[in-house]
Amino acid sequence: MEQDKEIKTVTLTPYLPEHLHELSQFYLPDTQTPFSALPEESLKYCREDCDRHPIVILVEGIPVGFFVLHIGETITPFTNDKKAILLRGFLVDQKHQGKGVAMKALQILPEFAKGIFPNKDSIILAVDVMNVIAKTLYAKAGYQDTGIQKEGRSGLMEIMEYRLDTMNKDME
């Protein structure tokens, strides 16, 4: 059973129509559905808004997770920073949870986001204050609580931020 815990290759890729079949099979337990839309719902919004960029989390090439990188004017309810990217709808399919996939995806996200949006200098997200598991995960991945709270669809949300502009300074 041990090797099941081992993290295989996690990669991020822009959504392609051939991912839809796997994404439409995604399931979240009731404890998680208040916090995140399933990929099909998120993709509807992406089709209506070209500033929303759907991204698929792959393990060994198989879709296991999904999120949206949202830029532009419509993210102002979350931030006034024009150089921010809003991370939305981040989820890992239930059968792939607990294997470190989400953490790995969050660790490779800054570089991936920088590749798509070189002129952006932060990733922000809104996490439900009740979603302790997600908040802990984001904090471990380097997201900091900004101290800003907003009312969300399922209650109070905390705004967290990952600074991309400090990212490469650590490596120099």
Q: Summarize pLDDT for 97-152 with one digit per residue, the tens.
A: 889 999 999 999 999 999 999 999 999 999 988 888 899 999 999 999 999 999 87
Task: Flag whether pLDDT at 91 surpasses 80.
Answer: yes
Q: What is the mean pLDDT of the chain?
A: 87
Measured in residues, the chain has a length of 172
Give the single-character DSSP code of 132. Answer: H
State what percent of residues in the chain have pLDDT above 90.
62
CA 80 from chain centre, in angstroms, equals 20
pTM: 0.88
Per-residue confidence (pLDDT) for residue 172, from 0 to 100: 40
More confident call, 67 vs 36:
67
Residue 120 burial (CB count, 10 A): 18
What confidence category does residue 153 fall into, taking pLDDT thresholds of 50, 70 and 90? confident
What span, in angstroms and rounded, lies between the C-alpha atoms of 172 and 60?
31
Task: Flag whether pLDDT at 31 surpasses 80.
Answer: no
**Which residues are CB-neighbours of 94 under 8 A, at least 6 positions away?**
26, 27, 28, 29, 32
Task: Flag whether pLDDT at 48 surpasses 90.
Answer: yes
Question: What values do phi and psi take at 29, rounded to 5?
Answer: -65, 160
Per-residue confidence (pLDDT) for residue 47, from 0 to 100: 94
Amino acid at 51: D
Asked if 108 contacts 10 with a C-beta cutoff of 8 angstroms, the reply is yes
What confidence category does residue 168 fall into, taking pLDDT thresholds of 50, 70 and 90? low
What span, in angstroms and rounded, lies between the C-alpha atoms of 126 and 79?
10
Domains of the chain: residue spans and CATH: 2-120 (3.40.630.30)
DSSP-derived 3-state class of residue 60? coil
Per-residue confidence (pLDDT) for residue 82, from 0 to 100: 92
Asked if 65 contacts 105 with a C-beta cutoff of 8 angstroms, the reply is yes
DSSP-derived 3-state class of residue 172? coil
Asked if 60 contacts 22 with a C-beta cutoff of 8 angstroms, the reply is no
DSSP-derived 3-state class of residue 130? coil
